[in-house]
């Protein structure tokens, strides 16, 4: 299907401030897990493509890190740049906000979107958490006065409410074009990348508020031998005390993280997985431009 001309084909950016449900939305649309999700802000650090191909359309969704004010560390600047750079290169933008909780970061993103040529759909996410849905109509009217959105759609990425309506609107805005990717391809990321992200997700879910943001995961080995996938993952932290927290008493934390990640990898890769985890300290890696590049945080 790669060269076949489809009725609708194009790129769609999913943007918003941290923790509004962008990755959950992508996973819901695709019907499978591509982006890791946790309740902690800034879980997504890279642009991740999610490709959905149907009989007459191929929509390439671009999940982005949460755009946030303040760029004290090189990591924060990288994430903001990764998110902001995509909005001028796509055919449609889905601007995701957290229900009726409009914040300063939302307003800052809105100001960026006012200069974008692509149509912008405002997705009011977390519809399932609204106590009084009668407030929605006046709120939608209020939002429509902020900018000329192509459409404002209340959704629940978690429950799947109105996702089909959102997809229908997105598809209608795309032009006819040959498919960009083979019909069976779902993402641009390798299994090696996915393995690293799964380990990081399990760490973020189990650790306290500060430590997860000082962690990154590097895959040192990813090799299939006798139908067993051997994966060696190196967990980088910034300080010695963080290393001890990640390992845990008698290594219990690291064992639990490894077990959770391994089980999900086996389900996702459909192979038996042998996973080894190590923890090392790299002082201030998240504020070191060269270290970030070496760890895969590149343009």
Instruction: Select from 176, 219, 221, 225 the least CA-distant residue to 199.
Output: 219
State whether 11 and 143 are in the same domain: yes
State whether 155 and 16 are in the same domain: yes
State whether 32 and 168 are in the same domain: yes
State whether 257 and 142 are in the same domain: no
Q: What domain count does the chain have?
A: 2
State whether 204 and 120 are in the same domain: no
CATH number at residue 242: 3.30.300.20
State whether 207 and 124 are in the same domain: no
pLDDT at site 83: 67
What are the residues whose beta carbons fall under 8 Å from the beta carbon of 60, sequence distance 6 or more?
10, 11, 12, 49, 50, 51, 180, 181
pLDDT at site 295: 72
Q: Where a domain ends, among 152, 178, 204? A: 178
In a domain, residue 89? The reply is yes
In a domain, residue 281? The reply is yes
Tell me the backbone φ, ψ of residue 231, rounded to 5 degrees. Answer: -125, 125
Name the DSSP letter for residue 65: P
In a domain, residue 126? The reply is yes
In a domain, residue 185? The reply is no
Please state the length of the chain.
299
Q: Where a domain ends, among 148, 178, 208? A: 178
Other beta carbons within 10 Å of 289: 12
State whether 156 and 213 are in the same domain: no
Beta bridge mates, 120: 93
Domain span at 63:
5-178
What are the residues whose beta carbons fall under 8 Å from the beta carbon of 63, sequence distance 6 or more?
14, 22, 23, 26, 34, 35, 44, 47, 48, 49, 50
CB 217, CB 200: distance < 8 Å: yes
CA 100/CA 20 separation, integer angstroms = 11
In a domain, residue 186? The reply is no
State whether 156 and 94 are in the same domain: yes
State whether 170 and 22 are in the same domain: yes
State whether 211 and 290 are in the same domain: yes
pLDDT at site 221: 96
pLDDT at site 15: 93
State whether 204 and 233 are in the same domain: yes
In a domain, residue 69? The reply is yes
pLDDT at site 166: 97
State whether 163 and 109 are in the same domain: yes
Q: Going residue by residue through the chain (299 aa), what tens digit of pLDDT does each one get?
A: 555 788 999 999 999 988 899 999 999 999 998 887 877 766 767 778 999 999 999 999 998 877 666 656 666 676 667 667 788 889 999 999 998 899 999 998 999 899 999 999 999 999 888 877 788 999 999 999 999 999 999 999 999 999 999 999 999 999 999 999 999 999 988 999 999 999 999 998 888 776 767 888 999 999 999 999 999 999 999 999 999 999 999 999 999 999 999 999 999 999 999 999 999 998 887 777 777 777 776 65
CATH number at residue 101: 3.40.50.300
């Amino acid at each position: 299907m790669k060269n076949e001309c489809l009725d609708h084909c194009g790129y769609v950016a999913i943007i918003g401030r941290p923790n509004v449900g962008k990755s959950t939305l992508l996973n819901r649309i695709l019907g499978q897990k591509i982006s890791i999700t946790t309740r902690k802000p800034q879980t997504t650090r890279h642009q991740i493509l999610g490709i959905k191909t149907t009989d007459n359309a191929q929509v390439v969704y671009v999940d982005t890190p949460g755009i946030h004010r303040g760029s004290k560390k090189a990591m924060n600047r990288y994430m903001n740049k990764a998110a902001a750079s995509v909005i001028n290169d796509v055919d449609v933008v889905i601007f995701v906000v957290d229900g009726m909780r409009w914040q300063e970061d939302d307003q800052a993103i809105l100001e960026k979107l006012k200069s974008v040529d692509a149509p912008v759909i405002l997705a009011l996410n977390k519809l399932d958490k609204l106590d009084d849905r009668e407030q929605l109509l006046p709120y939608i009217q209020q939002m429509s006065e902020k900018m000329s959105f192509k459409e404002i759609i209340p959704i629940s990425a978690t429950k799947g409410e109105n996702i089909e309506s959102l997809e229908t609107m997105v598809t209608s805005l795309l032009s006819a074009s040959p498919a960009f990717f083979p019909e069976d391809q779902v993402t641009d990321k390798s299994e090696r990348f996915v393995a690293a992200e799964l380990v990081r997700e399990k760490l973020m879910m189990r650790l306290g508020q500060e430590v997860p943001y000082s962690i990154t995961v590097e895959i040192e080995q990813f090799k299939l031998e006798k139908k067993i996938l051997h994966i060696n993952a190196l967990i980088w932290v910034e300080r010695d005390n963080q290393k001890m927290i990640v390992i845990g008493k008698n290594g219990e934390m690291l064992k639990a993280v490894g077990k959770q990640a391994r089980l999900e990898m086996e389900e996702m890769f459909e192979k038996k997985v042998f996973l080894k985890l190590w923890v090392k300290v790299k002082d201030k890696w998240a504020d070191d431009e060269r270290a970030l590049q070496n760890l895969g945080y590149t343009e």
